Structure 1
Amino acid sequence: MSSDATFNLHGQSGVEIKGYSEDASELFKEVTRLLYIAGSAKDEVAIQLSIYASLMFDDIMARVGLRDHASGIAELTGAPLASAADIVDCLGDQRVASLLDAAARALEGDAMDGLEKDLELFADCAGWLVMPDRMVSDEQRGAAVMVSFAAAINKWLEELAGRVSEP
């Protein structure tokens, strides 16, 4: 894949922001807080907290309309190398929540100014194929953060399922 890969969010179907609001910011904080706690909790508690966080994040993904675009965005990011719990542990729950909030706002046209270091750390932890500075817009970077974090949550849930199913 070329390092100059692009993804147009305004293709034929386009991304339709269906309801990003200020409460999304609070949801991001809650999702990352739950994952932070789950990262050090016993398996059964970690699973419950993580499933709840996953459902909350899935609701946000549905609101911003990224579900239909996940596979195209994943071509830029690739499969996550780290789970959501690892990413939250690496960057801290507040920094990840702030980055997710900025990413969702970028889908509405806001700039992701001042978050270059956090974005680069996030991309590095997640193992993106195309680094953020090679993407063409903040909207593209925002979509990549959202989809990548959703995939990292799935990776975390798979890791938890593997731990619980082991004898």
Structure 2
Amino acid sequence: MSFLAASSYIYINRFGLSEQEFSYFLAFNAMAGMTGPMLYMRISRYFKRQHIISCCFAMLVLFGLSVSTIGHLSPYLFALSVAPATIAITCMRVPGVNLMLEQQERDTGSASALINFFAMVMGSVGMVLVSINPSDFIATLGIIQVAIGFIGGCLWFFIRNSAYVQRINLQEN
């Protein structure tokens, strides 16, 4: 959501692209977002859910650093830095939501609503955070990606071997 809030300013104001050109870059990122779940479906045949999620958090940190360091050089480098982060986010959303929903014995609809509600709330927080420094949306976006990747990865590190996650993985195999 931070990317969506800042992308038009980055592409149009910072890089001087037209609205039409901006739409192509936005479409490229949307295609990257669609790639994540498909990628998860492919690689989940070969890798455990915990490894995929861990790798996605690492990718988010790595490409957040890329956005911060080289993203300002050209719209193409920016797009190529943001797209893998988008893929990582949408790739780990599938197993993450599944882990949360598998904890419910009843009221799955309410659990799904809460998951989506908090995703929108956190997305809104991201939109506010990226707007704090309007003079450098690119660096701010990269910092947000690194922070989410690092904090989320640390929290994931503490729960990935929990009894519940291990039990779910045994049921998968």
TM-score, normalised to structure 1, is 0.32
Q: Larger Cα Rg: Structure 1 or Structure 2? A: 2
Structure with more helix by fraction:
2
TM-score, normalised to structure 2, is 0.31
